[in-house]
Amino acid sequence: MDPLDIFPTPIWMAFAAAFGAVFGSFANVYIWRWQCLMSVVAPASHCPSCGTRIAPYDNVPIVSFFVLRGRCRACSAPISFRYPVVEAAVAALAASAFRATVLEAASLDLVTICSFVAEFTFCFALVVVAFIDLDTQLIPHRLTMAVTVVGLLANLLLPGGHAVASGIGTALGFGAIWAMSAVYRVVRGEAGMGIGDAYLLAMVGAFLGWRGALFALAAGAVQFVLVHVVLVAGDRSWRQEAVPPWRRPFPLGPFLSVGAIEYLTFAALVDPWFDELRRTAALLV
C-alpha cells in the first residue's frame, strides 16, 4: 500500500499546510534578521522590543498571534499583522506544492517528496525575497543563487524536469533584467533596476523555464505599474514631494514574485498562449 493511502486527501493537505506554516514562521525570522544582519539560527526567537525569549506556546504559527491579540505577552508591544500573513501565505503555497507534486503523481515516494521539497523551497524563497525587498529594496543574493541551483538540479535530475528550458530560463531571466537596467543607465544616466532583480528572475527561470521567466517579468511589470499609479493617485504626499513619483525608488521584487506564483498556479492556462505566439511567429518568419 502506498503511504499516501494511509490518510484521506484533506488530511494530507492539512499536514502540508501545517508544514508550510512552520516554515512561514522561519520565513518571518529570516526576513527580520537578514535586515538586522543577524544569524537566522541564533539566538532563539525573542521579542524585538523587550528581548524576552518567546515561549514555544507563544510561537505557534498563525494561532499565537490571535491568542496574544497581536501583542507581546511580556511587554505588550504590538506584533505586526505581517507575521500571520507570511505564515498563512507559506502554508497555502506548501499545500499547493504538495497537491501539484505528490497528489498529482498519486504516490508518496522519494521522487515526489523531492519534487515537493524543490517546489516548496522555490515558493519559500519567493515570499522571503518579496518581503525583504518591500522593506529594504534589497534582495539577498545568496538566497536567490542557492535556490537557483536547486531549480537547475531539480529540472536536471527529477523525472519530468526540463533541463534545457531551465537553463535557458535562468540565462534569459538574468539577461533580461540586466539588459533593461543597462539601457536605462545609458538613457537616463542612473540605475533603473538593481542586480538583485536579475538574480531573482534567474531563480524564477531556473524553476519555471523561459516561459515562466517571461510571464513573471510581464505580469510583474504590469502589476508594478498599476500599483504605482494607484499609489500616486491616492496618496497626496507622493504628489507633493520634490522628487517626481515616477523617479522614486520602488521595489520590483514583490511583483516578480507574485508573477512567478501566478505562472506556477495557472501555467496550464498560460502555456497555450505561448504555443500560439510561437506558431504565429513561425508563420511570420
Q: Give me the residues paired with residue 250 across strands.
A: none
Q: Which of 143, 282, 267 is nearest to 214 (CA)?
A: 267
201 falls in which pLDDT band (50, 70, 90)? very high
pLDDT digits (tens, 9 = 90+) for 55-83: 888 889 999 999 999 998 889 899 999 99
Report pLDDT for 14: 96
More confident position, 266 or 285: 266
190 falls in which pLDDT band (50, 70, 90)? low
Report pLDDT for 199: 96
Report pLDDT for 187: 78
| CA distances for 205 relative to 67, 144, 152, 208, angstroms | 40, 11, 9, 5
Report pLDDT for 192: 65
Is residue 243's pLDDT more than 60?
no
Question: How is the chain classified by DSSP, letter by letter?
Answer: --GGGSS-HHHHHHHHHHHHHHHHHHHHHHHHHHHTT--SSSS--B-TTT-PBPPGGG--TTHHHHHTTTB-TTT--B--THHHHHHHHHHHHHHHHHIIIIIHHT--SHHHHHHHHHHHHHHHHHHHHHHHHHHHS---HHHHHHHHHHHHHHHHHSTT--HHHHHHHHHHHHHHHHHHHHHHHHHHSS--S-HHHHHHHHHHHHHHHHHHHHHHHHHHHHHHHHHHHHHHHH-HHHHHSSS-GGGS----HHHHHHHHHHHHHHHHHHHHHHHHHHHHHHHH-
Report pLDDT for 280: 78
Check: CB of residue 82 under 8 Å from CB of residue 100: no
Q: Give me the residues paired with residue 53 across strands.
A: 46
More confident position, 53 or 231: 53
To which residue does cell 541551483 refer?
149
Q: Which of 221, 226, 233 is nearest to 259 (CA)?
A: 221
More confident position, 274 or 240: 274
Report pLDDT for 213: 96
Crossing angle between the packed helical segments 110-136 and 141-157, to the nearest 10 degrees: 160
Check: CB of residue 125 under 8 Å from CB of residue 147: yes
Question: CA-to-CA distance for 81 and 194, rounded, in angstroms?
Answer: 28
Average pLDDT of the residues of the chain: 89
Report pLDDT for 126: 97
Question: CA-to-CA distance for 210 and 217, rounded, in angstroms?
Answer: 11
Is residue 210's pLDDT more than 80?
yes
Q: Where are the domains of the chain?
A: 1-108, 137-285
40 falls in which pLDDT band (50, 70, 90)? confident
What's the mean pLDDT in 256-268?
93
Q: What is the identity of the amino acid at 198?
A: A
Question: CA-to-CA distance for 165 and 274, rounded, in angstroms?
Answer: 14
What's the mean pLDDT in 120-144?
95
Question: CA-to-CA distance for 122 and 158, rounded, in angstroms?
Answer: 15
- pTM comes to 0.91
